[in-house]
């Protein structure tokens, strides 16, 4: 009987755990604040604003300068076909040559070979001769057939004396050593200037091509004499011309 009474007394109770009433809720833990992350976010915002300000200032402080578009050999001057203008950030520590100074730059000579793509600075040019000791330059006016196709600055050539019909003569009146008709006036000469075809002023006439060679000084007179009569032809040869 006692067992049945206990069983009947507990039949109306719920099997689930007792739920706390609304007034008995446990307090929630306060949110953890992270001041380091907040400071980092503020720092990033300030750095971004500073970078944007710097870019705006640099964009508004640019100058137009000269950029070399074609290689300028040592001792040569630039032409309008060798350069273009670009904008760069002004910097007093770099001696840029401004686009407005192009006419003055044309009167100067390259101190050493200047590669295409370089921005021109004052240290690249000088007013004096830049030829090495014992070297001279000789200008030629060549007809078609007296020079190889595709001739360019830096090529090494040999200069031969030819007759008016284009054949090689039997000797040289220049006083240079010659053992026969196949001996060149100059065995090795470096092409220091040849037109690129962009400017008609580079051509002496509609058929003649203006070419400048750098040669040893002792061969300059003979080459100039042959050039004066139009009796010289160029042939590409291997070598560095130095």
Query: pLDDT digits over 2-38, tens only?
Result: 455 555 555 555 555 555 555 556 566 566 667 777 7
Answer yes or no: do 168 and 224 share one domain: yes
Count CB-CB contacts under 10 A for residue 33. Answer: 8
Both tokens assigned to 79: 């032409």
What would the mean pLDDT of 45-57 be, rounded to a whole number? 72
Taking 90 as the threshold, does the pLDDT of residue 235 lie above it?
Answer: yes
Q: What is the pLDDT of residue 57?
A: 53
Distance of alpha carbon 227 from alpha carbon 64, whole angstroms: 42
How far CA 179 is from CA of 55, 72, 159, 216, 232, in Å, comes to: 70, 37, 15, 20, 18
**Domain membership flag for residue 5:** no
Record the tokens describing residue 235, joined without a space: 């042939």
Residues 115 and 147 in one domain: no
Answer yes or no: is 196 within a domain: yes
What Cα–Cα distance (Å) separates residue 224 from each residue in 28, 171, 185, 220?
Answer: 102, 16, 10, 6
Total number of domains in the chain:
2
User: Which CA distances in Å does 236 have to 8, 88, 147, 150, 223?
Assistant: 122, 40, 9, 10, 16
Residue 6 lies in a domain: no
Q: What is the distance between the alpha carbons of residues 158 and 219, in angstroms, rounded to a whole number? A: 12
Go through 110-141 and write b for each residue having 16 or more CB atoms within 10 A of its CB, e for each that does not. beeebeeeeebeeebbeeeebeeeebbbbebb
- In sequence order, the 6+-apart residues with CB closer than 8 A to the CB of 126 are 108, 109, 111
The reply to whether 81 and 167 lie within a common domain is no
In a domain, 51, yes or no: no
139 shares its domain with 89: no
In this predicted structure, the answer to whether residue 174 has a pLDDT above a threshold of 50 is no
Domain match, 83 and 144 both? no
Q: What is the tens place of the pLDDT at every residue in 78-125?
A: 988 899 999 998 888 889 999 999 999 998 888 777 888 899 998 888
Judge whether 169 lies within some domain: yes
Has this prediction a pTM greater than 0.85? no
What is the residue range of 211's domain? 135-236
């Amino acid at each position: 009987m006692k067992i049945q009474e206990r069983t009947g007394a507990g039949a109306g109770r719920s099997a689930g755990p007792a739920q706390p009433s609304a007034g008995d809720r446990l307090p929630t833990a306060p949110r953890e604040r992270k001041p380091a992350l907040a400071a980092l976010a503020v720092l990033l915002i300030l750095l971004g604003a500073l970078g944007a300000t710097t870019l705006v200032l640099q964009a508004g402080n640019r100058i137009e300068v000269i950029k070399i578009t074609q290689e300028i050999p040592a001792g040569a001057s630039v032409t309008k076909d060798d350069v273009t203008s670009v904008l760069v950030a002004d910097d007093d520590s770099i001696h840029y040559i401004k686009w407005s100074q192009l006419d003055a730059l044309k009167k100067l000579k390259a101190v050493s070979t200047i590669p295409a793509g370089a921005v021109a600075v004052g240290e690249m040019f000088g007013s004096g001769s830049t030829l090495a000791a014992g070297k001279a330059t000789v200008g030629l006016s060549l007809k078609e057939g007296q020079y190889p196709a595709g001739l360019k600055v830096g090529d090494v050539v040999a200069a031969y004396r030819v007759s008016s019909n284009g054949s090689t003569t039997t000797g040289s009146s220049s006083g240079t050593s010659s053992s026969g008709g196949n001996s060149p006036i100059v065995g090795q000469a470096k092409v220091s200037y040849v037109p690129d075809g962009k400017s008609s002023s580079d051509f002496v006439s509609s058929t003649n091509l203006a070419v400048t060679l750098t040669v040893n000084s002792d061969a300059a007179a003979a080459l100039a004499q042959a050039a004066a009569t139009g009796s010289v032809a160029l042939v590409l040869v291997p070598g560095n011309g130095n």
